[in-house]
């Protein structure tokens, strides 16, 4: 890696790149806003895993036709935030146990690896921005605004990944962070919501000091502690083993 290149406002991933010239109608820009809106609702747990997302209802809410909604839902499905079942429509994804493990394993690998890169590339402006984000997060926690806190925490990890300068990996981390929010919704214990904001502060200091190795190690413990805080039970399966469950009663 090298050089100087900044990653403008990421998260838009595809399409809508050069539309800076003028506000042409509500066009595809509106769709992106709808995407962000639904995405935020899911990440903040205002839409809980399993919630059904009927196309008509969404189309009505956002004032567009189903065509646009379908587009948005398809994108969300590709990011694994919603699940599309063939004739049943869309619903907020309920991550499986395997999926949860996979996501955290992936985060461990990628985010830790990125810390080394980020420690070398981080700038003063980055540090300031991260501190602001961490501060916002702490305040949200203090005010018991768990929804904001969750979203801010995911945003923090995503922003951290962007510092590496690798857009591809940053996008990937962003998706993983979003999915982690879903995982927390299903397997998390109430009251203990994922990241301790204190951890994030420590992380910033290590990066500011340019100590990539330590930052990586700290991130590893950070992620592992989150994963460890989950209650990963197999939960009610598709086909609950009724025979087993009612064996004593029968």
Partner DNA sequence: CGCATCCAGAGCGTATACAATAGAGCCCTG
Partner DNA sequence: CAGGGCTCTATTGTATACGCTCTGGATGCG
- Which stretch, 47-55, 96-104, 119-127, 137-145, contacts a copy of itself (CB under 8 A)? 96-104
Cβ neighbours, 10 Å, residue 215: 27
13 binds, among DNA, a copy of itself, none (CB under 5 to 8 A by kind): a copy of itself
Per CB under 8 A, the list member of 40, 64, 169, 208 interacting with a copy of itself is: 169
**Helix pair angle (27-43, 167-187), 10° resolution:** 40
Closest separation between CB of residue 133 and a copy of itself, Å? 23
- What residues pair up with 90 in beta bridges, in sequence order? 53, 84
| Residue 87, token pair as written in the block | 């004739």
Q: Which residue from 133, 134, 110, 116 is spatially nearest to 210, judged by alpha carbons? A: 116
State yes or no: residue 235 binds a copy of itself (CB under 8 A). no
Binding a copy of itself (rule: CB under 8 A), the pick from 40, 94, 102, 214 is: 102
Q: What's the sign of the alpha-carbon dihedral 244, 190, 93, 115?
A: negative
Picked from DNA, a copy of itself, none, the partner binding residue 167 (CB below 5 to 8 A depending on kind) is a copy of itself
Strands 89-92 and 52-53 turn out to be antiparallel
Own/partner long-range contacts of 36-42 (Cβ < 8 Å, ≥24 apart): 36/11, 37/62, 38/72, 38/76, 39/76, 39/81, 39/178, 40/151, 42/76, 42/81, 42/82, 42/92, 42/178, 42/181, 42/182
How far is Cα 174 from Cα 169, in angstroms, rounded to an integer? 9
Give min distance, CB of 2 to a copy of itself, in A.
Answer: 8
Q: 83 or 153: whose CB is closer to a copy of itself? A: 83
Which range binds a copy of itself by CB under 8 A, 33-41, 98-106, 180-188, 220-228?
98-106
Single residue of 34, 103, 160, 161 touching a copy of itself by CB under 8 A: 103
1 binds, among DNA, a copy of itself, none (CB under 5 to 8 A by kind): a copy of itself
User: What are 247's two structure tokens?
Assistant: 């064996």
Residue span 49-88 as binding mask against DNA, x where in contact by CB under 7 A, dash where not: ---xxxxx-------xxxxx-xx------------x-xxx
Q: Whole-number minimum distance, CB 199 to DNA, in Å?
A: 40
Q: Taking every pair of C-alpha atoms in the chain, what is the biggest distance, in angstroms?
A: 71
Name which of 118, 34, 28 is nearest 72 in CA terms.
34
- Give the residue among 147, 217, 239, 214 at the shortest CA–CA distance from 184: 147
Using the rule CB under 8 A, which residue among 153, 166, 181, 197 binds a copy of itself?
166
Q: Which is nearer to a copy of itself, 198 or 224 (CB)?
A: 224
**For DNA, the closer CB: 25 or 144:** 25
Characterize the bridge pairing of strands 89-92 and 82-85.
antiparallel
Size of the site for DNA (CB under 7 A): 26
What is the contact surface with a copy of itself in residues (CB under 8 A)?
A: 1-2, 5, 13-19, 27-28, 71, 74-75, 77-78, 80, 83-86, 98-99, 101-103, 105-106, 109-110, 113-114, 166-169, 172, 176
């Amino acid at each position: 890696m090298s050089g100087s290149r900044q990653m403008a406002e990421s998260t838009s991933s595809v399409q809508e790149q050069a539309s800076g010239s003028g506000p042409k109608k509500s066009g595809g820009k509106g769709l992106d806003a709808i995407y962000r809106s639904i995405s935020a609702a899911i990440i903040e747990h205002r839409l809980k895993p399993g919630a059904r997302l009927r196309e008509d209802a969404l189309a009505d809410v956002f004032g567009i036709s189903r065509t646009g909604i379908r587009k948005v839902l398809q994108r969300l499905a590709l990011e694994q935030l919603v699940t599309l079942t063939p004739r049943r429509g869309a619903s907020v994804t309920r991550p499986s146990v395997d999926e949860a493990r996979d996501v955290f394993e992936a985060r461990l690998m990628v985010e830790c690896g990125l810390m080394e890169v980020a420690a070398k590339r981080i700038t003063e402006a980055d540090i300031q921005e991260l501190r602001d984000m961490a501060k916002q997060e702490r305040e949200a926690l203090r005010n018991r605004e768990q929804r904001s806190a969750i979203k801010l925490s995911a945003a923090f990890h995503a922003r951290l990944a962007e510092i590496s300068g690798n857009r591809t990996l940053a996008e990937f981390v962003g998706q993983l962070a979003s999915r982690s929010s879903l995982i927390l919704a299903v397997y998390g214990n109430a009251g203990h919501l994922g990241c301790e904001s204190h951890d994030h502060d420590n992380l910033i200091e290590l990066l500011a000091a340019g100590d990539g190795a330590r930052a990586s190690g700290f991130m590893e413990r950070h992620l592992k502690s989150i994963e460890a805080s989950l209650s990963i039970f197999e939960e009610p399966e598709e086909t609950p083993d009724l025979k087993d469950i009612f064996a004593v009663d029968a």
